[in-house]
Copies of this chain bind each other. A is one copy, B any other.
Amino acid sequence: MSIDLRQHVIAVDLGGTNIRAALCDQEGRILKRHKQLTLAEEGPEAVINRIVDSIQHVMPEAGTAAVKAVAAACPGPLDPFIGVVMYAPNLPGWIDIPLRDILRQRLGLPVAIGNDANLAALGEQRYGAGRGMKDLVYVTISTGIGGGVILNNQLVLGMRGLAAEIGHTTLDIHADWTHAGVPGSFEGYASGTGIARLAHHKLRAQLHAQQERGAPLSRMVELAGGDIDAVTAKEVGEAARCNDPLALEIIAEVARIIGLGFVNLLHLYDPAIIVVGGSVSLMGDLLFEPVRRTVQQYAMLPYRDRPIVPAALGDDCGLLGAAALAFDLA
């Protein structure tokens, strides 16, 4: 492979399960990629060694001289200004790890690190569903709800790089529960976990009624092998596609909540577009259509025309966001 000198960057996506690394060009093409297990339980030093190893695997033949910069998407609250991972729930032992400086020293290259959801926003804006938009909100809905915001082509970071904690905003100050300390939070209601919780609640209530009437079990429970507690957002989506009434009811309830959460984001950030990623977004129009209708109903007039679209980069969003960050750095 012939590579123009310093026309490329190396991107890393550090997850609780996998470490992924890629050699990328300015158009967001991945020229080489490498993936290995994180084995997070072995602690920060072992994980950092594997990160460096993955980077070496995608290094161009000409070596570091051909690389502009390296950037890594990392989980957990981190300070992008000083390059420190404060802590990461999925990475045991990661407390105040100065990952940027460690990698800089090990590689002899410029290095930056960023929050994975923030960098996914950057990836979608530079190379994905938000291409050409200078003002974008990205929301990822899977186990949790995270986000990243780009305004005037700049990542919205705030004082310590902790802005856009979309999942941890209250949508219901009167809720009788908290999630991560916040009552009635967006994540508590509408993450995959929240959707599953709502499904379990409704299925148990239905079970009671069914036992009285002898009605059949919901398709959701069938899909989960007969076990209510095994129902996840995935089974809710699949059953809804088969027109299971309870699954459709759950989707409608969740879509209203997500739509109202998006109204808040529109009114607070005034983005040109909302890009939605994460596993729950794979439900597609089944979810997007009622979300869009909720936004049409509740957003103030000047904000109603903003497209709400699925993410385009799939699992590569963090990697390509890191690539964009590395190019910005170089």
Binding site for B on A (CB under 8 A): 77, 86, 134-135, 151-152, 154, 156-166, 168-174, 178, 180-184, 256-257, 260, 263-264, 267-272, 298-300, 302-303, 306
Contacts and interface: CB of A to CB of B under 8 A. Distances in A.
A160 B270 contact: yes
Given A151-B158, A163-B270, A268-B169, A300 B263 contact: no
A256 B165 CA distance: 20
Contacts of A169: 263-264, 267-268
A171 B163 CA distance: 19
Contacts of A166: 267-268
Can you tell how many copies of this chain the complex includes? 2
Interface of A is mostly: loop
Given A151-B157, A151-B163, A152-B154, A168 B270 contact: no
B172 A174 contact: yes
Contacts of A170: 171, 260, 263-264, 298
A159 B300 contact: no
Contacts of A271: 158-159
A270 B135 CA distance: 18
B86 A302 contact: yes
A158 B300 contact: no
Contacts of A158: 135, 151, 269-271
A96 to B, nearest CB: 12
A267 B135 contact: no
A149 to B, nearest CB: 8
A178 B180 CA distance: 28
Given A181-B298, A298-B182, A300-B180, A269 B173 contact: no
Contact of A162 (B163, B164, B257, B303): B303
Given A165-B268, A182-B263, 19 more contacts: A77-B302, A135-B159, A151-B157, A152-B157, A158-B271, A160-B270, A162-B267, A162-B270, A163-B268, A165-B300, A166-B268, A170-B171, A170-B260, A173-B260, A174-B174, A180-B300, A181-B298, A182-B267, A264-B264
A260 B111 CA distance: 37
A180 to B, nearest CB: 7
Contacts of A151: 156-158, 163
A101 B316 CA distance: 46
Nearest to A189: B173
20 contacts: A86-B302, A135-B158, A135-B159, A152-B154, A162-B267, A163-B270, A165-B267, A168-B300, A169-B263, A169-B267, A169-B268, A170-B264, A170-B298, A171-B171, A173-B256, A173-B260, A178-B298, A182-B267, A182-B298, A264-B264
